[in-house]
Amino acid sequence: MISPAIADFLDTRSAPTPFVVIDLGVVTSRYDDLAAVLPGVELCYAVKANPGEAVVDRLAQRGSSFDVASPGEIDLVLGLGVDPAQISYGNTIKKQRDIAYAAARGIRRYTVDSDIELEKVLAEVIDPIICVRLFHDCNGADWPLSRKFGCGAADAARLVRRAADAGCEVGLSFHVGSQQRHLSAWDEPLQVCASAARAAGVTLDFVNLGGGFPGTYLDEMPPISAYGAAIMGAVDDAFPGGRPALLAEPGRYLVADAGVLHSEVVLVSRRDVDPRLWVYLDVGVFGGVAESLGESIRYRLRPTCAAPLSGDDDEVVLAGPTCDSADIMYDKTGYRMPVELAPGDTVDLISAGAYTTSYSAVGFNGFAPLGQYHVG
Amino acid sequence: MISPAIADFLDTRSAPTPFVVIDLGVVTSRYDDLAAVLPGVELCYAVKANPGEAVVDRLAQRGSSFDVASPGEIDLVLGLGVDPAQISYGNTIKKQRDIAYAAARGIRRYTVDSDIELEKVLAEVIDPIICVRLFHDCNGADWPLSRKFGCGAADAARLVRRAADAGCEVGLSFHVGSQQRHLSAWDEPLQVCASAARAAGVTLDFVNLGGGFPGTYLDEMPPISAYGAAIMGAVDDAFPGGRPALLAEPGRYLVADAGVLHSEVVLVSRRDVDPRLWVYLDVGVFGGVAESLGESIRYRLRPTCAAPLSGDDDEVVLAGPTCDSADIMYDKTGYRMPVELAPGDTVDLISAGAYTTSYSAVGFNGFAPLGQYHVG
């Protein structure tokens, strides 16, 4: 549940809480596991999931490609010596000058979902590789996507045709939603990819399968091998004449289980306005646990008490340390904690390596941003 | 709508977007306006609303006191030469070592809402001044509070009694909810303060009226003079034998209208999956516009287009620049923008001086935190 290297760090190092510890060995093994079940698929790590330099560096050494969202992420990845050919600028929302910035650094792969974005890329990049993102309605995802990204099959066919006519290599992408629990989620969008390509009269140079591979939270998910089998089968169903080149954009899967967020209990109180026990940690919604929003991502928790345990526990509400009333992490999930839990005790959020440190506020309420250490 | 000093900054300075510009002259005049309508009330600026050093410094020069939430905010305020006697540590969730940190720097005023927190303060502080926070159900607030803070009248009476028995000066506080639209919101909690004090058999050394004073957003709010009259009347009704010493914790009111958030349009697109026009700015939920959550705080917007305007406009969805599907600011409010709006144009969020820069993520998607400039 907690890797030996992280357990050792927590036992022997005294660092001010809250912080995340990442076991780079787990990152590596997750990368290898995913590569094994998605044979021949180019894995582009979604840097936004955890932009820790050591994380990116380890993945780069392992041969990973990278999905980036901004010039800042481009600088990070290139600064570690990654070949620009291994970088995909997957954000569909890019300033024209940021596209120029990327192009000047040799990046050729860009994702678009509208004419205006395609035009920006065609204006700035010599010989671009265009990925058109399809909208997909994400049933079964714990952190569902919205209509913010992607276009329908009709727009996609038109954009692919337009990019091909401009001489570009072209492909399609979609995203089934982060922390996707349904193995069949890839079936329908892959069929849409195939039909949009037929409608466009274009042979796709590649298909980008997006992300959605899960971290290990409270709810049990299928094993990664089942994802691989389902997805490769769905590809073969959609493209019976032969697989196009394939990419995927894993983020959460590679880093979530590699991290533990170590926090301290600041206050435990039961007040006459609420029968429930409130537990206040030194990390909360604005300190990096933003994915508790709507209680959609529900971490496994490990409280460690100084007092001897009776074995009795109590249902708790979990909140953060700021003066903001919205800074409540879990009000409905029904977490339970030992009745002995007291200020100064610690609570570890397990599998908290994804979407924590980078979501942290820069200094809300005067608290420092969530720190990150690397082991392994 | 935009102060001359801010307008001049936006016209003449070319700084990378997004950023907030604060007119310190507006901060000063808001402070003076509030002081005028709350005569004799000690105003403690809630630093969390905008911890810009120039903002805090200007208010300190004006004689403001300060409500702080953490050692970080204590350092900020003391570093500007503020007398520790003018600082109130108003967060009800404090590590014991942070209380010790504050006490070592001469801070005597602490807010609590539970026995365990009171015990921490009594253990660490010589001669503390104890403020017990009452829970209040915040009807009429656009950013309502929750059961995260405060206790009921029974707990409050007990805690006040306990603190008084320990030889402390004691008072009560409550918060009617941020951006409170109902002038009568202070009536009931003030009555609860009075009755809790009677139940405790304690004469209150002070009452802290909290915050709730509004910024100027889409919905019209009463003038600040009406707040002052209503609150002072409610105090006199609750304490017919004479007003206790009074404090208030304005945050939003002092800084919201002093700031403009200047952003750039990254993308405008209409896709076949949604009939609405999507406008993507270079600032969003994770870049400082966190109070768009639930569309509770609805800023006035000022788009500036390079193209000549036809006068036609269109309903838009407003989203941020990150690859996160939750980064949508306004989906339901029904904002309208000129049909000519295009990438490279700008959109100003008016009255965005509160709860923006400090809420900003440290680097989500590789975007830098929201910057802040000061004029006036």
Condensed to tens digits (0 to 9), the pLDDT of residues B147-199 reads 899 999 999 999 999 999 999 999 999 999 889 999 999 999 999 999 999 99
CB within 8 Å: A48 and B326: no
Helix (H, G, I), strand (E, B) or coil at A200: helix
ω before B369 within 30° of 0 (cis)?
no
Question: Does the pLDDT value for residue A1 go beyond 80?
Answer: no
Rounded Cα–Cα distance for residues A239 and A235 (Å): 6
Q: What is the pLDDT of residue B143?
A: 58
Question: Does the pLDDT value for residue B139 go beyond 80?
Answer: no
Three-state SS across B38-67? Answer: CCCEEEEEEHHHCCCHHHHHHHHHCCCEEE
CB within 8 Å: B367 and A46: no
Q: What tokens does A239 get?
A: 């493209």
Condensed to tens digits (0 to 9), the pLDDT of residues A292-319 reads 988 989 999 999 999 999 999 999 999 9
CB atoms within 10 A of CB A16: 9
CA distance A367 to chain B (A): 6
What residues does A374 pair with on adjacent strands?
Answer: A22
Q: What is the pLDDT of residue B359?
A: 87
Q: Domains of chain A (ranges plus CATH)?
A: 25-255 (3.20.20.10), 257-375 (2.40.37.10)
Helix (H, G, I), strand (E, B) or coil at B295: helix
Nearest residue, CB atoms, A274 vs list B147, B328, B369 = B147
Could you list the beta-strand ranges (E) of chain B: 19-23, 41-46, 65-68, 87-89, 109-112, 129-133, 141-143, 169-173, 178-180, 206-208, 245-248, 259-269, 277-281, 300-304, 313-319, 328-330, 336-338, 346-350, 371-375
Question: Does the pLDDT value for residue A90 go beyond 90?
Answer: yes
Q: In chain A, what residues touch B359 (CB-CB under 8 Å)?
A: 286, 361, 364
Q: In chain A, what residues touch B328 (CB-CB under 8 Å)?
A: 146, 148
Burial annotation A24-50 (CB, 10 A radius, 16+ → b, else e): bbbbbbbbebbbebbeebbbbbbbbbb
CB within 8 Å: B321 and A93: yes
CB within 8 Å: B148 and A325: yes
Condensed to tens digits (0 to 9), the pLDDT of residues B243-284 reads 999 999 999 999 999 999 999 999 999 999 999 999 999 999
Torsion over CA: B112, B205, B58, B252 (sign): positive
CB within 8 Å: A271 and B135: yes
Question: Does the pLDDT value for residue A122 go beyond 80?
Answer: yes
Question: Does the pLDDT value for residue A260 go beyond 80?
Answer: yes
Is A296 in the B-facing interface, judged by CB distances under 8 Å?
A: no
Interface size, chain A vs chain B, as Cβ–Cβ contacts under 8 Å: 224
Least CA distance to B113: which residue of chain A?
A271
Q: What is the pLDDT of residue B145?
A: 55
CA-wise closest residue to A149 among A73, A224, A211: A211
CA distance B205 to chain A (A): 23
Q: Which long-range contacts (CB under 8 A, 24 or more apart) does B155-159 make?
A: B155/A271, B155/A272, B155/A273, B155/B113, B155/B114, B156/B132, B156/B192, B156/B196, B156/B200, B157/B196, B157/B197, B157/B199, B157/B200, B158/B200, B159/B112, B159/B113, B159/B114, B159/B115, B159/B118, B159/B130, B159/B132
- Are B102 and B67 within 8 A, CB to CB? no
CA-wise closest residue to A204 among A249, A149, A247, A233: A247
Length, in residues, of chain B: 376
CB within 8 Å: B154 and A264: no
Nearest residue, CB atoms, B269 vs list A114, A290, A364 = A114
Which of B44, B151, B193, B323 is the catalytic position?
Answer: B323
Question: Does the pLDDT value for residue A39 go beyond 90?
Answer: yes
CA-wise closest residue to B371 among B77, B47, B16: B16
Q: What is the pLDDT of residue A206?
A: 98
CA distance A298 to chain B (A): 17
Restricting to A residues 340-359, those with a Cβ less than 8 Å away from any Cβ of B are 343-344, 357-359
| Max Cα–Cα distance, chain A, nearest Å | 72
CB within 8 Å: A152 and B360: no
Q: In chain A, what residues touch B362 (CB-CB under 8 Å)?
A: 357-358, 360-362, 369-370
- Are B326 and A293 within 8 A, CB to CB? yes
Condensed to tens digits (0 to 9), the pLDDT of residues A264-292 reads 999 999 999 998 999 999 999 999 999 99
Condensed to tens digits (0 to 9), the pLDDT of residues A47-79 reads 999 999 999 999 999 999 999 999 999 999 999
pLDDT band at B144 (very low <50, low <70, confident <90, very high): low
Question: Does the pLDDT value for residue A139 go beyond 80?
Answer: no
pLDDT > 90: percent of chain A = 92
Is A361 in the B-facing interface, judged by CB distances under 8 Å?
A: yes
Stronger pLDDT, A73 or B358, i.e. the higher one: A73
Interface test with B, best of A95, A280, A323 (most B CBs within 10 A): A323
Question: Does the pLDDT value for residue B126 go beyond 70?
Answer: yes
Q: What angle do CA B34, B37, B43 make, to 5 degrees?
A: 45
ipTM: 0.95
Q: In chain A, what residues touch B365 (CB-CB under 8 Å)?
A: 48, 69-70, 72-73, 91, 358
Question: Does the pLDDT value for residue B140 go beyond 80?
Answer: no
Rounded Cα–Cα distance for residues A329 and A350 (Å): 15
Question: Does the pLDDT value for residue B239 go beyond 90?
Answer: yes
Rounded Cα–Cα distance for residues A330 and B263 (Å): 33
Q: In chain B, what residues touch A286 (CB-CB under 8 Å)?
A: 290, 359
Interface test with B, best of A76, A355, A362 (most B CBs within 10 A): A362
Question: Does the pLDDT value for residue B358 go beyond 90?
Answer: no
Interface test with B, best of A149, A271, A346 (most B CBs within 10 A): A271
Is B272 in the A-facing interface, judged by CB distances under 8 Å?
A: yes
Question: Does the pLDDT value for residue A144 go beyond 60?
Answer: no
- Are B189 and B150 within 8 A, CB to CB? no
Is B371 in the A-facing interface, judged by CB distances under 8 Å?
A: no
Which of A131, A151, A168, A323 is the catalytic position?
Answer: A323
Pairing of strands B336-338, B313-319: antiparallel
CA-wise closest residue to B207 among B65, B46, B41: B41
- List phi, psi (to 5°) of B208: -105, 115
Nearest residue, CB atoms, B273 vs list A151, A268, A370 = A151
- Are A331 and A276 within 8 A, CB to CB? no
- Average pLDDT of chain A? 96
CB within 8 Å: A92 and B268: no
CA distance A243 to chain B (A): 27
How many alpha carbons fall within 13 Å on the CB side of residue B309? 11
Least CA distance to B287: which residue of chain A?
A361
CB within 8 Å: A146 and B325: yes
Q: What tokens does A292 get?
A: 């508790």
Rounded Cα–Cα distance for residues B309 and B304 (Å): 10
- Are B370 and B276 within 8 A, CB to CB? no
Rounded Cα–Cα distance for residues A222 and A220 (Å): 7
CA-wise closest residue to B151 among B207, B186, B101, B189: B189
Question: Does the pLDDT value for residue B356 go beyond 80?
Answer: yes
Question: Does the pLDDT value for residue A143 go beyond 70?
Answer: no
Interface test with B, best of A47, A117, A134, A273 (most B CBs within 10 A): A273
Q: What is the mean pLDDT of residues A215-234?
A: 97
- Average pLDDT of chain B? 96
Restricting to B residues 236-265, those with a Cβ less than 8 Å away from any Cβ of A are 264
Helix (H, G, I), strand (E, B) or coil at A245: strand
Q: What is the pLDDT of residue A145?
A: 55
ω before B18 within 30° of 0 (cis)?
yes
Q: In chain B, what residues touch A325 (CB-CB under 8 Å)?
A: 143-146, 148-149
Pairing of strands B41-46, B245-248: parallel
CB within 8 Å: A366 and B269: no
Q: What is the mean pLDDT of residues A357-362?
A: 89
pLDDT band at A329 (very low <50, low <70, confident <90, very high): very high
CB within 8 Å: B362 and A367: no
Residue A168 falls in the annotated catalytic set: no
pLDDT band at A14 (very low <50, low <70, confident <90, very high): confident
Q: In chain A, what residues touch B75 (CB-CB under 8 Å)?
A: 366
CB within 8 Å: A366 and B120: no
What angle, 0 to 180 degrees and rounded to 10, lies between the N-to-C axes of helices B187-200 and B153-165?
A: 50
